[in-house]
């Protein structure tokens, strides 16, 4: 199993406003980056299923010059609203970190 977390130098999340969160994946090298880019586990549909949001609301952006991928998705609970357990969006990267990028399903 090859998890995204094992390939990434940095994998973090943060608010992208009160209604969205962004996940940054920075790779050590081109090989890890290319492996992740080619994986179906990082498609908007798979990420949406992982986070319980609609696929059309997930944006996956690739930055080959710096071996980085940015994923932006809506927060299920707006930042600071009652029930929000992560006001800064700082712990939202964990599900993405655990996906197996070699698995056809991208399952953890």
Angle at 21 between CA 97 and CA 33, to 5 degrees: 40
Does the pLDDT value for residue 1 go beyond 90?
no
- Model pTM score: 0.89
Residue where the block lists tokens 């492996």 = 35
Whether 16 and 79 have beta carbons less than 8 Å apart is answered as no
pLDDT recorded at residue 48: 96
Provide the residue ranges of all domains of the chain, joining segments of one domain with +: 4-97
Number of DSSP helices (H) and strands (E) in the chain, helices first: 4, 4
**Per-residue pLDDT reduced to its tens digit, 63-88:** 999 999 999 999 989 999 998 889 99
How would residue 108 be classed by pLDDT, with cut points 50, 70 and 90? low
């Amino acid at each position: 199993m090859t998890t995204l977390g094992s390939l990434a130098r940095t994998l973090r999340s943060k608010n992208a406003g009160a209604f969205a969160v962004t996940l940054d994946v920075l790779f050590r090298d081109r090989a890890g980056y290319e492996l992740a880019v080619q994986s179906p586990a990082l498609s908007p549909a798979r990420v949406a299923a992982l986070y319980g949001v609609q696929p059309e609301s997930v944006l996956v952006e690739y930055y080959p010059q710096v071996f980085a991928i940015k994923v932006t998705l809506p927060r299920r609970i707006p930042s600071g609203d009652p029930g929000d357990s992560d006001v800064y969006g700082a712990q939202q990267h964990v599900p993405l970190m655990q996906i197996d990028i070699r698995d056809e399903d991208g399952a953890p």
